[in-house]
Amino acid sequence: MLKLTKQMKADIRKLREQDIIVCEACGSDKISEKMWVDSNSFISIDGEAYYKYNEMNDGEEYWCNKCYEETLPIHISEYEGDKDA
């Protein structure tokens, strides 16, 4: 298990608030991606496990839990920008 640092806590909070990627099609943040994680390196916060990943997702396999389809992820600011345009 990883040791939880203040920096990690802050980063996770930031991820939740700002660094959100959303479904290109519907804007939902309920999207998933396939990636390899280190099974033995994780922390548990508020009943949720956060794993250290070994590799970035190199494929394009993202899944939208709202569309029930594979999707492409975009940053939330891009999605909101598109709406205004």
Beta strands in the chain (DSSP E): 21-23, 31-33, 37-45, 48-53, 62-64, 69-71, 73-75
- Size of site (CB under 5 A) for Zn ion: 7
Q: Which lies closer to Zn ion via its Cβ, residue 26 or residue 43?
A: 26
**Least distance to Zn ion from the beta carbon of 32, Å?**
11
52-55 contacts at long range (C-beta below 8 A, 24 or more positions apart)? 52/2
From 6-14, 34-42, 47-55, 62-70, give the range in contact with Zn ion by CB under 5 A.
62-70
22 binding Zn ion? (CB under 5 A): no
CA pseudo-torsion sign 45, 21, 33, 65: positive
Q: Which lies closer to Zn ion via its Cβ, residue 26 or residue 74?
A: 26
Give residues in contact with Zn ion (CB under 5 A): 23, 25-26, 28, 64, 66-67
